[in-house]
Amino acid sequence: MGGMDLDRTTTALLAALHDSSNAAAWEAFDHRYRPILMGFARSYGLCDDDAAELAQSTIVKFIEQYREGKYDRDRGRLGAWLVTIAKYRLLDMRRKKSPVHIAQGESAIVDLDDDRSVGDAYDAQRRLAILREALQELREKTKTDSKTIRAFELLYYHGMSVQAVAADLGMQPQEVYLAKSRVAMRIREIVARIEREYEETPEDWASSPDRPSAAFGG
């Protein structure tokens, strides 16, 4: 759990993307944003295939716009830009696939006119991606012992009681509580670091009163 890897910051990634031959940068970009976009699409009720299509077309569109120099960071976060693209992909797909639903005002799909809810949906997926990365790091790269992680899993994945977890793992209930706290503490550290890596133009972020929705104009 060292300090943050400067090459992994979004700012660094974007800078590297200027070099169209930098395959590693594109891969890193894709690796970071595709799962977020997939989750975003699924959260709007799309099946896996459609979600994958949406993520793919959004990334392709972004690359296009980025190369044309259309992406202006002053106008908002990268996430907001991606969401704007994704939102119109989503509308396109819905128009093609389920005209009946729209005509009937079926509300199984979130109202896309609400920019804030769209932005929130994206942010939620971004948070999920960060948490997943943190969990992977906790398992693979930290010294947290497997019993500690197992205690957390039994408690939070399987809804077992502290007593049951203690009995299962041959621990005292107090140790189970401690294990849980330890996982929380480690995750908090890792998440804080990854958040910093994901952070985009913090100065814009701080000065913009209206968060990403400023970029959702069109």
Residues that bind other proteins (CB under 8 A): 1-3, 39-40, 42-45, 47-48, 106-110, 117, 120-121, 124-125, 127-128, 131-132, 134-135, 152-153, 155-159, 161-162, 173-174, 177-178, 180-185, 187-189, 192
Report the residue number, 17 or 129, with the smaller CB distance to other proteins: 129
User: 1 or 24, CB closer to other proteins?
Assistant: 1
Q: How far is the CB of 10 from other proteins (least distance, A)?
A: 20
When the beta carbons of 60 and 185 are compared against other proteins, the nearer one is 185
The token duo for 178 is 């401690």
Which residues are CB-contacts of 57 (< 8 A; sequence separation ≥ 6)? 89
Nearest distance in Å: CB 46, other proteins: 8
According to DSSP, residue 6 is labeled G
Contact at 8 Å (CB) between 82 and 122? yes
d(C-alpha 30, C-alpha 50), whole Å = 17
Tokens read off for 176: 């189970």
Residue whose CB is less far from other proteins, 7 or 19 = 7
Residue 18 Cβ, how far from other proteins at the closest point, in Å?
32
Nearest approach in angstroms of CB 22 to other proteins is 28
**Cα–Cα dist 13/15, whole Å:** 5
Q: How far apart are CA 205 and CA 82, in angstroms?
A: 16
